[in-house]
Amino acid sequence: MIHRTFLMCFLIASALAFGQDQKVEPHSRYRLEFVLKQLDHGKVLSTHNFVMSAESNGSTSQVRTGNRIPIDLGGEKGLQYQDVGFSCDARINPVGSSNVGLEIGWELSTMPGATGSERVVRQVKGRSTPLAPVGKQTLVGSVDDINSGQQFELDVTVTPEQ
């Protein structure tokens, strides 16, 4: 009788443990995979991928891509340079065993149709603090470009590094 009771308890405990979600232990380093989408009325026009490694010690990781465009201010001011492209800063903080708290600041700047001396720089910026489940894609932010009517969406997937 005691053996049957023990066996039943063991089988029930095993079944409960098997049915639970697998827990992910906090790590000191994570891989952040960003996907930046440009959309027009819900239709994806372009997708760009950026990957960075981040430590969970409070330091900031960065990605920068683009060009430095010379802008002639004339006279004594001469040339100044404007960064045009994509930049992203990320700070990571493990929360519990299966979520990661993020602090993300991102900026996308473009120079559409620059002609002659007239150069217009369009920018979209976002700053957010999403709680990201480890291994699942999470929306960081979505921004409408009021100049073009298009949308920009940034997603991130966080995975532990070995």
Q: What is the pLDDT of residues 40-99, one digit of tens each?
A: 988 999 999 999 999 888 889 999 999 998 887 777 878 888 889 999 999 998 787 789
Domain count, the chain: 1
Residue 156 lies in a domain: yes
Domain that holds residue 94: 30-160
How far from chain centre, in Å, is Cα 41? 22
pLDDT-based confidence at 135, cuts 50/70/90? very high
| Averaged pLDDT, 127-155 | 91
Residue 74 lies in a domain: yes
pTM of the model: 0.75
Residue 13 lies in a domain: no
d(CA 145, CA 70): 24
pLDDT-based confidence at 26, cuts 50/70/90? low
What is the average pLDDT score of the chain?
A: 81
d(CA 119, CA 124): 17
pLDDT of residue 22: 43
Residue 22 lies in a domain: no
pLDDT over threshold 70, residue 14 = no
pLDDT-based confidence at 13, cuts 50/70/90? very low
pLDDT of residue 24: 42
pLDDT of residue 118: 66
Residue 45 lies in a domain: yes
Phi, psi of 16 (to 5 degrees): -65, -45
Residue 161 one-letter amino acid: E
Cβ-in-10-Å burial (0-12, 13-18, 19+) of 32 comes to: buried
Residue 11 lies in a domain: no
Token pair of 87 as six digits = 């930049």
Residue 90 lies in a domain: yes
**CA dihedral in degrees (111, 113, 114, 116; nearest 10)?**
180
Residue 19 lies in a domain: no
DSSP at 23: P
Asked if residues 122 and 97 have their Cβ atoms less than 8 Å apart, the reply is: no
